[in-house]
Structure 1
Amino acid sequence: MKTTNNTDITNEMREYFYKRTEKHINRVRELMMLMEGYETLKRSDLLERGIAHDQSKYLEPEVTGYIWLSWFHYCKNSNIKFAYPSDTIIEMVNNAVDHHLKSNLHHPESHSNINNMSTLDIVEMVCDWSAISQELNQGSCLNYI
Protein backbone atom coordinates (compact mmCIF):
# COMPACT_ATOMS: atom_id res chain seq x y z
CA MET A 1 0.00 0.00 0.00
CA LYS A 2 1.39 3.38 -0.95
CA THR A 3 0.70 6.10 1.60
CA THR A 4 0.76 9.65 0.37
CA ASN A 5 -1.24 11.71 2.86
CA ASN A 6 -2.31 11.94 6.46
CA THR A 7 -5.64 10.17 5.84
CA ASP A 8 -3.72 6.99 6.63
CA ILE A 9 -3.01 8.18 10.16
CA THR A 10 -5.24 6.34 12.58
CA ASN A 11 -7.04 7.92 15.52
CA GLU A 12 -4.83 5.84 17.82
CA MET A 13 -1.68 7.28 16.24
CA ARG A 14 -3.04 10.83 16.44
CA GLU A 15 -4.16 10.44 20.07
CA TYR A 16 -0.83 8.93 21.06
CA PHE A 17 1.07 11.84 19.47
CA TYR A 18 -1.01 14.51 21.22
CA LYS A 19 -0.92 12.79 24.61
CA ARG A 20 2.82 12.06 24.42
CA THR A 21 3.71 15.55 23.17
CA GLU A 22 1.61 17.25 25.85
CA LYS A 23 3.28 15.16 28.57
CA HIS A 24 6.71 15.96 27.12
CA ILE A 25 6.03 19.71 26.99
CA ASN A 26 4.74 19.66 30.58
CA ARG A 27 7.83 17.78 31.74
CA VAL A 28 10.15 20.24 29.99
CA ARG A 29 8.24 23.14 31.55
CA GLU A 30 8.54 21.60 35.04
CA LEU A 31 12.27 21.08 34.59
CA MET A 32 12.73 24.60 33.29
CA MET A 33 11.02 26.06 36.35
CA LEU A 34 13.71 24.41 38.49
CA MET A 35 16.25 26.62 36.76
CA GLU A 36 14.87 29.89 38.14
CA GLY A 37 17.75 32.09 39.24
CA TYR A 38 20.38 30.22 37.22
CA GLU A 39 22.50 32.82 35.42
CA THR A 40 19.82 35.40 36.37
CA LEU A 41 17.06 33.55 34.50
CA LYS A 42 13.65 34.89 35.50
CA ARG A 43 10.64 32.74 36.29
CA SER A 44 8.53 34.59 33.71
CA ASP A 45 11.06 33.96 30.91
CA LEU A 46 11.36 30.28 31.82
CA LEU A 47 7.58 29.88 31.99
CA GLU A 48 7.07 31.63 28.65
CA ARG A 49 9.68 29.46 26.96
CA GLY A 50 8.32 26.33 28.64
CA ILE A 51 4.81 27.05 27.36
CA ALA A 52 6.15 27.68 23.84
CA HIS A 53 8.32 24.53 23.88
CA ASP A 54 7.67 22.30 20.84
CA GLN A 55 4.48 24.14 19.83
CA SER A 56 5.67 24.00 16.22
CA LYS A 57 5.00 20.25 16.31
CA TYR A 58 1.26 20.98 16.35
CA LEU A 59 1.35 22.75 12.97
CA GLU A 60 2.43 21.84 9.48
CA PRO A 61 4.95 21.23 8.12
CA GLU A 62 5.65 19.30 11.32
CA VAL A 63 2.50 17.74 12.76
CA THR A 64 1.90 14.96 10.22
CA GLY A 65 5.54 13.91 10.21
CA TYR A 66 5.71 13.95 13.98
CA ILE A 67 2.57 11.82 14.31
CA TRP A 68 4.31 9.20 12.18
CA LEU A 69 7.61 9.60 14.05
CA SER A 70 5.93 9.33 17.46
CA TRP A 71 4.15 6.17 16.34
CA PHE A 72 7.41 4.72 15.01
CA HIS A 73 9.07 5.26 18.41
CA TYR A 74 6.02 3.97 20.29
CA CYS A 75 6.15 0.74 18.28
CA LYS A 76 9.92 0.46 18.64
CA ASN A 77 9.77 0.94 22.43
CA SER A 78 6.85 -1.51 22.68
CA ASN A 79 8.53 -4.19 20.52
CA ILE A 80 5.79 -3.86 17.90
CA LYS A 81 6.84 -4.47 14.34
CA PHE A 82 6.34 -1.30 12.31
CA ALA A 83 7.71 0.24 9.15
CA TYR A 84 6.78 3.48 7.46
CA PRO A 85 4.39 2.60 4.65
CA SER A 86 6.18 4.59 1.95
CA ASP A 87 9.18 6.67 1.03
CA THR A 88 6.82 9.66 0.94
CA ILE A 89 6.13 9.22 4.66
CA ILE A 90 9.84 8.86 5.42
CA GLU A 91 10.51 12.08 3.52
CA MET A 92 7.67 13.82 5.38
CA VAL A 93 9.12 12.72 8.73
CA ASN A 94 12.61 13.87 7.76
CA ASN A 95 11.29 17.23 6.57
CA ALA A 96 9.28 17.69 9.78
CA VAL A 97 12.33 16.99 11.94
CA ASP A 98 14.53 19.25 9.83
CA HIS A 99 11.99 22.08 10.06
CA HIS A 100 11.66 21.59 13.82
CA LEU A 101 15.40 21.62 14.45
CA LYS A 102 15.92 24.74 12.34
CA SER A 103 12.90 26.63 13.73
CA ASN A 104 13.29 26.25 17.51
CA LEU A 105 15.97 28.11 19.44
CA HIS A 106 16.57 25.22 21.86
CA HIS A 107 18.14 23.27 18.99
CA PRO A 108 21.69 24.17 17.94
CA GLU A 109 20.65 23.65 14.31
CA SER A 110 18.53 26.82 14.49
CA HIS A 111 21.65 28.96 15.02
CA SER A 112 24.25 29.86 12.44
CA ASN A 113 26.84 29.45 15.21
CA ILE A 114 26.30 27.37 18.34
CA ASN A 115 27.97 30.15 20.34
CA ASN A 116 24.96 32.32 19.51
CA MET A 117 22.72 30.21 21.76
CA SER A 118 21.52 32.19 24.75
CA THR A 119 21.54 30.81 28.29
CA LEU A 120 17.78 30.35 27.97
CA ASP A 121 18.23 28.39 24.72
CA ILE A 122 20.78 26.10 26.38
CA VAL A 123 18.69 25.60 29.51
CA GLU A 124 15.68 24.65 27.39
CA MET A 125 17.85 22.27 25.34
CA VAL A 126 19.17 20.49 28.45
CA CYS A 127 15.66 20.34 29.96
CA ASP A 128 14.44 18.84 26.67
CA TRP A 129 17.16 16.18 26.79
CA SER A 130 16.45 15.51 30.46
CA ALA A 131 12.72 15.14 29.79
CA ILE A 132 13.32 12.65 26.99
CA SER A 133 15.77 10.64 29.08
CA GLN A 134 13.18 10.52 31.89
CA GLU A 135 10.47 9.45 29.46
CA LEU A 136 12.70 6.62 28.25
CA ASN A 137 13.78 5.68 31.80
CA GLN A 138 17.42 6.26 30.92
CA GLY A 139 18.43 8.04 34.11
CA SER A 140 20.83 10.88 33.37
CA CYS A 141 20.29 12.90 30.21
CA LEU A 142 23.88 11.96 29.36
CA ASN A 143 22.58 8.44 28.66
CA TYR A 144 20.09 9.90 26.15
CA ILE A 145 22.65 12.21 24.53
Structure 2
Amino acid sequence: MSSKNDLDAQITEEMISYFNIRTAEHIDRVKNNMILMEGYQNLDIQTLVKRGEIHDQSKMVEPEKQGYIWLTWWHYCKKQGLKFDYPEGAQELVQLSVDHHLKSNLHHPECHQKSNDMSWLDIVEMVCDWTAMSQEYDQGSCLSYVQQNIQKWHFNEQKMQDIFDTISEIDKRIQKKI
Protein backbone atom coordinates (compact mmCIF):
# COMPACT_ATOMS: atom_id res chain seq x y z
CA MET A 1 0.00 0.00 0.00
CA SER A 2 1.21 3.50 -0.82
CA SER A 3 2.11 5.73 2.11
CA LYS A 4 0.56 9.15 2.71
CA ASN A 5 3.85 10.70 1.55
CA ASP A 6 3.77 8.68 -1.70
CA LEU A 7 0.22 9.88 -2.32
CA ASP A 8 1.20 13.46 -1.49
CA ALA A 9 3.97 13.28 -4.10
CA GLN A 10 1.40 12.29 -6.73
CA ILE A 11 -0.79 15.34 -6.14
CA THR A 12 -0.22 17.91 -8.89
CA GLU A 13 -0.35 21.70 -8.71
CA GLU A 14 -3.40 21.52 -11.00
CA MET A 15 -5.18 19.27 -8.50
CA ILE A 16 -4.33 21.58 -5.59
CA SER A 17 -5.40 24.67 -7.51
CA TYR A 18 -8.71 23.12 -8.54
CA PHE A 19 -9.37 21.94 -4.97
CA ASN A 20 -8.62 25.42 -3.55
CA ILE A 21 -10.81 27.23 -6.08
CA ARG A 22 -13.71 24.77 -5.93
CA THR A 23 -13.69 24.63 -2.12
CA ALA A 24 -13.53 28.43 -1.79
CA GLU A 25 -16.44 28.78 -4.23
CA HIS A 26 -18.45 26.20 -2.27
CA ILE A 27 -17.79 27.95 1.04
CA ASP A 28 -18.80 31.27 -0.53
CA ARG A 29 -22.07 29.77 -1.83
CA VAL A 30 -22.85 28.33 1.61
CA LYS A 31 -22.09 31.67 3.28
CA ASN A 32 -24.30 33.55 0.80
CA ASN A 33 -27.10 31.06 1.38
CA MET A 34 -26.72 31.47 5.13
CA ILE A 35 -26.97 35.24 4.81
CA LEU A 36 -30.28 34.74 2.96
CA MET A 37 -31.61 32.96 6.06
CA GLU A 38 -31.29 36.01 8.31
CA GLY A 39 -34.17 36.08 10.79
CA TYR A 40 -35.22 32.48 10.16
CA GLN A 41 -35.77 30.78 13.53
CA ASN A 42 -34.47 34.03 15.10
CA LEU A 43 -30.96 33.51 13.68
CA ASP A 44 -29.08 36.81 13.46
CA ILE A 45 -26.82 37.85 10.61
CA GLN A 46 -23.61 37.80 12.68
CA THR A 47 -24.17 34.20 13.75
CA LEU A 48 -25.00 33.13 10.21
CA VAL A 49 -22.01 34.92 8.65
CA LYS A 50 -19.61 33.57 11.27
CA ARG A 51 -20.84 30.01 10.73
CA GLY A 52 -20.70 30.48 6.95
CA GLU A 53 -17.10 31.68 7.13
CA ILE A 54 -15.92 28.59 9.03
CA HIS A 55 -17.95 26.18 6.89
CA ASP A 56 -15.76 23.31 5.63
CA GLN A 57 -12.53 24.92 6.86
CA SER A 58 -11.50 21.51 8.21
CA LYS A 59 -11.03 20.41 4.59
CA MET A 60 -8.16 22.87 4.28
CA VAL A 61 -5.95 21.11 6.85
CA GLU A 62 -4.97 17.57 7.71
CA PRO A 63 -6.24 15.02 8.39
CA GLU A 64 -8.75 16.01 5.69
CA LYS A 65 -6.93 18.06 3.06
CA GLN A 66 -5.05 15.41 1.08
CA GLY A 67 -8.06 13.11 0.92
CA TYR A 68 -10.32 15.95 -0.20
CA ILE A 69 -7.85 16.98 -2.91
CA TRP A 70 -8.12 13.43 -4.31
CA LEU A 71 -11.91 13.35 -3.94
CA THR A 72 -12.37 16.76 -5.55
CA TRP A 73 -10.15 15.71 -8.46
CA TRP A 74 -12.14 12.48 -8.87
CA HIS A 75 -15.37 14.52 -9.11
CA TYR A 76 -13.74 16.95 -11.53
CA CYS A 77 -12.64 14.10 -13.84
CA LYS A 78 -16.07 12.48 -13.65
CA LYS A 79 -17.78 15.78 -14.51
CA GLN A 80 -15.38 16.29 -17.45
CA GLY A 81 -15.82 12.72 -18.71
CA LEU A 82 -12.16 11.93 -18.06
CA LYS A 83 -11.00 8.49 -16.98
CA PHE A 84 -9.47 8.63 -13.53
CA ASP A 85 -8.60 5.89 -11.07
CA TYR A 86 -7.32 6.58 -7.59
CA PRO A 87 -3.73 5.47 -7.08
CA GLU A 88 -3.20 2.70 -4.54
CA GLY A 89 -4.17 3.85 -1.04
CA ALA A 90 -5.93 7.06 -2.12
CA GLN A 91 -9.46 5.70 -1.83
CA GLU A 92 -8.81 4.67 1.77
CA LEU A 93 -7.35 8.10 2.50
CA VAL A 94 -10.43 9.75 0.96
CA GLN A 95 -12.70 7.67 3.19
CA LEU A 96 -10.70 8.59 6.31
CA SER A 97 -10.89 12.28 5.34
CA VAL A 98 -14.64 12.14 4.72
CA ASP A 99 -15.27 10.25 7.96
CA HIS A 100 -13.24 12.82 9.91
CA HIS A 101 -15.10 15.69 8.22
CA LEU A 102 -18.54 14.25 8.92
CA LYS A 103 -17.72 13.62 12.58
CA SER A 104 -16.06 17.03 13.12
CA ASN A 105 -18.53 19.53 11.63
CA LEU A 106 -21.82 20.41 13.30
CA HIS A 107 -23.67 20.77 9.99
CA HIS A 108 -23.40 16.99 9.51
CA PRO A 109 -25.73 14.68 11.46
CA GLU A 110 -22.79 12.30 11.99
CA CYS A 111 -21.14 14.91 14.24
CA HIS A 112 -23.87 14.54 16.83
CA GLN A 113 -24.50 11.77 19.35
CA LYS A 114 -27.99 11.59 17.82
CA SER A 115 -28.96 13.30 14.56
CA ASN A 116 -31.98 14.79 16.34
CA ASP A 117 -29.60 16.77 18.57
CA MET A 118 -28.88 19.18 15.72
CA SER A 119 -29.67 22.82 16.56
CA TRP A 120 -31.53 25.18 14.25
CA LEU A 121 -28.18 26.70 13.26
CA ASP A 122 -26.84 23.23 12.40
CA ILE A 123 -29.94 22.49 10.31
CA VAL A 124 -29.76 25.82 8.49
CA GLU A 125 -26.07 25.29 7.67
CA MET A 126 -26.77 21.72 6.53
CA VAL A 127 -29.58 22.88 4.22
CA CYS A 128 -27.42 25.76 2.95
CA ASP A 129 -24.66 23.22 2.23
CA TRP A 130 -27.03 20.92 0.33
CA THR A 131 -28.39 23.95 -1.53
CA ALA A 132 -24.85 25.08 -2.44
CA MET A 133 -24.15 21.64 -3.91
CA SER A 134 -27.39 21.82 -5.91
CA GLN A 135 -26.39 25.27 -7.13
CA GLU A 136 -22.94 24.05 -8.13
CA TYR A 137 -24.48 21.31 -10.27
CA ASP A 138 -27.37 23.50 -11.58
CA GLN A 139 -29.98 21.23 -10.01
CA GLY A 140 -32.24 23.87 -8.50
CA SER A 141 -33.56 22.93 -5.06
CA CYS A 142 -31.87 20.32 -2.90
CA LEU A 143 -35.31 18.86 -2.16
CA SER A 144 -35.06 15.77 -4.37
CA TYR A 145 -31.59 14.91 -2.97
CA VAL A 146 -32.94 15.17 0.57
CA GLN A 147 -36.07 13.14 -0.21
CA GLN A 148 -33.86 10.36 -1.59
CA ASN A 149 -31.33 10.40 1.29
CA ILE A 150 -32.94 11.66 4.50
CA GLN A 151 -33.77 8.19 5.87
CA LYS A 152 -30.09 7.33 6.36
CA TRP A 153 -29.76 9.91 9.14
CA HIS A 154 -32.64 8.54 11.25
CA PHE A 155 -34.23 11.89 12.03
CA ASN A 156 -37.49 11.81 13.97
CA GLU A 157 -40.67 13.19 12.36
CA GLN A 158 -40.33 16.63 13.95
CA LYS A 159 -36.70 17.07 12.87
CA MET A 160 -37.57 15.93 9.33
CA GLN A 161 -40.37 18.50 9.25
CA ASP A 162 -37.91 21.17 10.46
CA ILE A 163 -35.51 20.22 7.65
CA PHE A 164 -38.19 20.25 4.94
CA ASP A 165 -39.53 23.58 6.27
CA THR A 166 -35.99 25.00 6.09
CA ILE A 167 -35.59 23.76 2.50
CA SER A 168 -38.91 25.37 1.59
CA GLU A 169 -37.82 28.62 3.23
CA ILE A 170 -34.44 28.83 1.50
CA ASP A 171 -36.01 27.97 -1.85
CA LYS A 172 -38.53 30.78 -1.32
CA ARG A 173 -35.81 33.26 -0.37
CA ILE A 174 -33.65 32.30 -3.37
CA GLN A 175 -36.62 32.76 -5.73
CA LYS A 176 -37.39 36.13 -4.16
CA LYS A 177 -33.76 37.19 -4.73
CA ILE A 178 -33.79 36.24 -8.43
- Output the TM-score relative to the length of structure 2: 0.78
Counting only pairs closer than 5 Å after superposition, residues 61-80 of structure 1 correspond to structure 2 as: 61-80=63-82
What does the per-residue CA deviation read over 1:4-47, in whole Å, with 9 as the maximum and x for residues that have no partner? 32111000000000000000000000000010100100111001
Offset of residue 137 of structure 1: 1.1
Aligned residues: 143
Offset of residue 143 of structure 1: 3.4
Match of 1:27 in 2: 29
**1: distance between equivalents of 2:66 and 2:82?**
21
Match of 2:38 in 1: 36
Match of 1:92 in 2: 93
Offset of residue 115 of structure 1: 1.4
SS state of the match for residue 102, structure 1?
Answer: helix
- For the 8 Å contact 2:38–2:44, the answer to whether it is kept is yes
**1: distance between equivalents of 2:73 and 2:41?**
38
**1: distance between equivalents of 2:85 and 2:135?**
26
Name which of structure 1's ranges 10-19 and 131-140 shifts more when overlaid on structure 2.
131-140
Q: Go from structure 1 to structure 2 and tell me whether the alpha carbon gap of 1:112 and 1:102 turns closer, same or farther (over 3 Å shift).
A: same
**2: distance between equivalents of 1:113 and 1:106?**
13
- For the 8 Å contact 1:75–1:81, the answer to whether it is kept is yes
**1: distance between equivalents of 2:83 and 2:98?**
22
- For the 8 Å contact 2:30–2:129, the answer to whether it is kept is yes
Offset of residue 85 of structure 1: 1.1
**1: distance between equivalents of 2:28 and 2:135?**
13
Runs of 4+ in 1 over 6 A off after TM superposition: none
**1: distance between equivalents of 2:145 and 2:76?**
16
Match of 1:81 in 2: 83
**2: distance between equivalents of 1:91 and 1:38?**
39
Alpha-carbon RMSD: 1.1
Which structure has the larger Rg over C-alpha atoms? 2
What does the per-residue CA deviation read over 1:56-97, in whole Å, with 9 as the maximum and x for residues that have no partner? 0000000000000000000001101101011x1111000000
- Consecutive unaligned residues of structure 2, counting only runs of 5 or more, are 147-178
**2: distance between equivalents of 1:66 and 1:42?**
31
- Output the TM-score relative to the length of structure 1: 0.95
Asked whether 1:47 is paired with 2:49, we answer: yes
- For the 8 Å contact 1:132–1:144, the answer to whether it is kept is no
- Consecutive unaligned residues of structure 1, counting only runs of 5 or more, are none
Match of 1:18 in 2: 20
Instruction: Give the one of 60, 63, 84 matched to 2:62.
Output: 60
Name which of structure 1's ranges 116-125 and 132-141 shifts more when overlaid on structure 2.
132-141
Identity of aligned residues (%): 58
